[in-house]
Amino acid sequence: MGIHHLAFATRDIDATHEFYTRAMGFELVKVEAGRIGDGWAKHVFYSTGPARDQMIAFWDLHDVDLPADWSADIGLGLPPGVNHLAFSADDLDDLARHRDRWLSCGHDVMEIDHDWCISIYAADPNGWMVEFCTLTRDFSDQDRAEALEKLKQPKPELNEPKGHKIYKAADYRG
């Protein structure tokens, strides 16, 4: 069973639309507009992949009952990147295409080789960490056993990334 969509509020729908279409490469597929409280809202849906029900959605809220300083922060006071959005990349070539797209759109990119997957990270207009990730190997029975053991440990041995790179958009020469 997959996820149909994830939905989040945004304070700047224009910047969010620009990022998720241009930098992420997602397609705007539907906008629902309706009443919310004493105001109205647009619920804006983007397709994230080939399946028709793999989407991310954003709320463009215009509710007079909301405080003027409401926050779209998904971090909830946690360290940056703890709460984040991760999307699949097909393979290392696809991951490189996503990295280059972000860089060409002016976004710095962090890359981490986790030894079982490689991930790239950038920030969206809401300040949220977004990620593209591709598995570099299939999970084994040993991985599953180690995962269960580590889950049970009160203070497990810490993993160290195999590699870490920062790509600066200012240095990108696509």
Domain positions in the chain: 5-62, 84-171
Pairing of β 163-167 and β 129-135: unpaired
The predicted structure's pLDDT at residue 77: 80
The predicted structure's pLDDT at residue 171: 95
Q: Domain 84-171: give its CATH architecture.
A: Roll (3.10)
The predicted structure's pLDDT at residue 1: 56
- Which stretches in the chain have pLDDT values below 70? 1
C-alpha dihedral over 159, 75, 40, 38, to 10 degrees?
140
The predicted structure's pLDDT at residue 65: 82
The predicted structure's pLDDT at residue 42: 95
For residue 70, the SS3 value is coil
157: how many CB neighbours lie within 10 A of its CB? 7
The predicted structure's pLDDT at residue 3: 83
- pTM over the 0.95 mark: no
The number of C-alpha atoms within 13 Å of 63 and in the hemisphere containing its C-beta is: 19
Residue ranges of E strands in 21-153: 27-36, 39-47, 55-62, 84-88, 109-113, 117-123, 129-135
Report residue 148 as tokens: 């269960």
Q: Which fold has domain 5-62?
A: 2,3-Dihydroxybiphenyl 1,2-Dioxygenase; domain 1 (3.10.180)
The predicted structure's pLDDT at residue 76: 79
The domains spanning 5-62 and 84-171 adopt the same CATH topology: yes
The predicted structure's pLDDT at residue 41: 93
